[in-house]
Amino acid sequence: MAAVIPPGSKATDCVTKVELSVSCDNLLDMDMLSKSDPLCVLFVCNSGSQWSEIGRTERIMNCLSPKFSKTFVIDYYFEMVQKLKFDVYDIDSDNCSLRDADFLGQMECTLGQVGHLCLLQQLIHHNKCSHNLVFIPDIHLYGIYQAEFECINGKKKQNKKGYKNSGVIMIKQCKIVKDYTFLDYIMGGCQLNFTIAIDFTGSNGDPRSPRSLHYINPQGYNEYLAAIWAVGSVIQDYDSDKMFPAFGFGAQIPPTWQVSHEFPINFNPSNPFCAGIEGVVYAYQQCLPQVKLYGPTNFSPIINHVAQFGHQALQQHTASQYFVLLIITDGVITDMDQTRSAIINASRLPMSIIIVGVGGADFSAMEFLDGDDGILRSATGEAAMRDIVQFVPFRQFQNAGTAALAQSVLAELPDQVTSFFNLFGLKPPSEPNPS
């Protein structure tokens, strides 16, 4: 008897991804003065009767026959019966909470009912360099391209004589999704665009004092420079022109001495780029004596600044650019609500944020932004689409060297890059050839 291999084990790591597009027709109208504002939630049955939420579509306002843009991507296992449940709600709150929503109906099916999957051919590619065998499946989808199911409200069916349904849910499309790896994107032409933001607030101390975090010792070292070198030396290999915009925040800058939260440290707003990490270091050293450290510590302006470019890149509909913002800071964020909103907006863009905390301050707020302990939400309850923040306190690596710091802060970046592009179905600019 063959052994049963559970999902998630090594034997099933290379599962097929299936993307489901959903639409509904003739839903119940639950609103008095307007039409329902539907949203669809997909659940998968893990074991027995335990359902787990996979994802949600967007809410479509005033529509009884919605065609949802957001799709669901799930793992397909040939050897398993995968039960799916689609719940449809009329959403009345801005934060899309289901607690305040009206339940419209649901339908259950299996993934096998939605579409039949067939493996057309299997190719084995021999890698001459490593002498490994690489299995490359050519997978094709055929059969039921569109499935239609009745949307049933159990209470109405039980209490209302002659009840037929509460509308129809249609699986518009079921297709195989290829998951590209980080190297697929890099080798296919994706550029990592690296931006640096440096904290010039007064809590750092007078740069002329050896006690200041901005004090550059005779060896040309401080924690800010160490963080720039550690992260930049790795990132620069993935940027073809190696021109990096570098900004400061929290300082009074000449000639007006107004506080700025996104000023180029080379004082050239039309061209804030520095040539290589060496250029960033030089601009930082030249900038220090020309500004007055002040405050407060606001992150949202520089996050929104980089997010503008991420939004523009997303309009290209290809995985050609991904933006990495390195923020080096010494203290507590003073615009936390605005920063949370900025991060949540950026979570929908090709963008990641690395925060390195220097000095001995309390960085609990930074760890909160990291999101490893739960989903980051804005003050109004809006949730981040994905975790894009990685925070590391520099003091943990003072005796470990810059390589260890770089490894820690960049550990999550490859998964963040691939998860974003795969989530949006974006391919590399050019298909990487197997070697």
Tokens representing residue 172 in the block: 């518009």
User: Which stretch of DSSP H or E encloses residue 341?
Assistant: helix 336-346
Contact between residue 390 and residue 329 where contact means Cβ atoms under 8 Å apart: no
Mean pLDDT by 10 residues, the chain (435 residues): 36 60 84 82 84 92 90 74 88 83 86 46 28 28 54 84 84 74 85 96 95 92 91 82 95 97 97 96 96 97 98 94 96 92 96 93 81 78 91 85 81 90 89 58
- From residue 126, how far is each of 123, 135, 184, 187, 395 by CA, in Å? 10, 9, 18, 20, 46
Domains of the chain: 10-178 (2.60.40.150), 184-423 (3.40.50.410)
CB of 266 closer than 8 Å to CB of 217:
no
**SS3 label, residue 396:** helix
Instruction: With beta carbons less than 8 A apart as the criterion, state whether 325 and 302 touch.
Output: yes
Q: Are 226 and 255 in contact (CB under 8 A)?
A: no
Q: What is the pLDDT of residue 21?
A: 85
Q: In sequence order, which residues have a C-beta less than 8 Å from that of residue 244 and are 6 or more positions away?
A: 194, 195, 196, 232, 236, 273, 274, 276, 277, 279, 280
| Count of C-beta atoms within a 10 Å radius of residue 379 | 10
Q: Following CA atoms 10, 12, 13, 15 in sequence, which dihedral angle do they give, to the nearest 10 degrees?
A: 170
d(CA 326, CA 344): 17
Name the pTM for this structure. Answer: 0.64
Give the pair of three-digit tokens for residue 404.
């260890």
Q: Pull the structure tokens for residue 255.
A: 């000639």
The confidence score (pLDDT) of residue 113 equals: 64
Query: Would you state the pLDDT for residue 53?
Result: 92
Helix (H) or strand (E) segment spanning residue 418: helix 413-423
